[in-house]
Amino acid sequence: MKEVVVTGLGIVSPIGQSAAEVLDHLLAVRSGISLWSAEGFTKTFPAGIIRGDFNDHFEKKDLPYLDRITKMSIVAAEQALADAGLPSGLGEPGPRAGVFAGTVSGGADTQTTWLHDYSAGGKQTARPFTLMAGMHNAPAAWISIRHRIAGPVITHSSACASSGAAIGDAMRWIRAGDLDLAIAGGCEATLNAPVMGAWDGLRALARPDPGDVGRSCRPFSRDRGGLVLAEGAVFLVLESAEHAASRGAHAYATLSGYGIACDAYHVGSPHSRGQTAAITAALRDAGLHPSDLSYINAHATATPTGDPVEVASLRDALGDAADAVPVSSTKAQHGHMLGAASAMELAVCLLAMKHGFLPATAFLEDIDPACQLRHVPMVVERDVHICHTLSLSAGFGGTNIALVASRRID
């Protein structure tokens, strides 16, 4: 099998609209969570909000086709290509390049606008291009069109594991020798009243912290109050090591392990067996023992039930190493990016490896006794040599994804 390397990162997130900005926020342990509200909606929630509409990035004739999610995805993908040393695109890659994207809701703004126009405005016919702007595969399709990518263009929707599945799928295509290069990642733009109301119906959302809304997401904390939704897009350029070397590209790391497993338990409640199986499979795929890991970016959404289940999963999968391998959840800073979560947290792992630090779990002042691990609370640990990282994502429906990235030895 071919070695798969990451050569480019593109990030549009609540803690930065570039990899450099995200790095600054991570090192400073600075929150990107602020207060969300909507006209006619009486409740307010903390959320990971990205400012700006990105319209200036596009020609006017294309805007009717572009939901917010697609705009952010195109921007992130182009950042990743530039970072990979391909600032003018891929030329004519034909079938040897692909796009793999993950999302939970697709073009949610477009979908909800049309539903409002129909139900409240009495309209019988949607605006032109509504279907194309709102479809789940629009971000991947537009990335392929703009860069003439004629290989597989695939959209995954496995709840909060969506972008992890997309990255793992891309990795397998390249490993098998069927592709030389892929743009892989995830995207989400669901900060609107109908979606917020649906999530609120689950009783899963955190309320604004009364002292500082930026502190509203507190994974692993005794006083955690629920998850904080966020928007964003994160895409990576994956290549075979051979292809990257042929053009003199720098690699962040090798994508060395991928594990996917389902709980087969409940559509909305996690079970440790699926998470444990995904972690174990990823380590086996990478040829690693648990003690080889240098850092784990946990899924940890700060829900009362989810965090302890994940801790139990990590303990089952890691054994004695569970008390030694550093763990953190950066959702405390950027919130839960749903379909983009796996990609965001893998990107955090890659930045940590490149710059030699352990990301912290912000606001972790009082660790829940049911969540005891080797945490990195409050402050990053610097000057750390990271060899192997693991990121874990778990989604409704029971799909769990683990991705292992490893330092390259040149």
Closest CA to 111 of 17, 14, 233, 198: 198
What three-state secondary structure class fits 370? Answer: helix
Residues 181, 139: Cα–Cα separation, whole Å? 18
Cα(137)–Cα(131) distance, integer angstroms:
11
Concerning whether 375 is annotated as a catalytic residue, the answer is: no
Residue among 336, 371, 375, 388 flagged as catalytic: 336
Q: Is 160 one of the annotated active-site residues of the chain?
A: yes
Q: Is 299 a catalytic residue?
A: yes
Question: Out of 136, 160, 187, 271, which one is annotated catalytic?
Answer: 160
> φ, ψ for residue 191 (rounded to 5)?
-85, 70
R_g over Cα of the chain: 20
The burial of 295, by beta-carbon neighbours within 10 Å (0-12 exposed, 13-18 middle, 19 or more buried), is given as buried
Residue 155: phi and psi, rounded to 5, are -115, 125
Report the alpha-carbon distance of residue 200 to residue 360 in Å, rounded. 28
- Helix or strand holding residue 388 (H, E): strand 388-394
Encoding tokens for residue 39? 């006209």
- Looking at the DSSP bridge assignments, the partners of residue 184 are 100, 236
Q: State which amino acid sits at residue 224.
A: R
Q: Which residue has the tokens 């500082």?
A: 212
Q: Which helix (H) or strand (E) holds 37?
A: strand 33-38
d(CA 158, CA 260): 11
Beta bridge partners of 255: 405
136, 156, 271, 299: the active-site residue: 299
Of 114, 104, 42, nearest in space to 69 by CA = 104
Annotated catalytic residues are 160, 299, 336
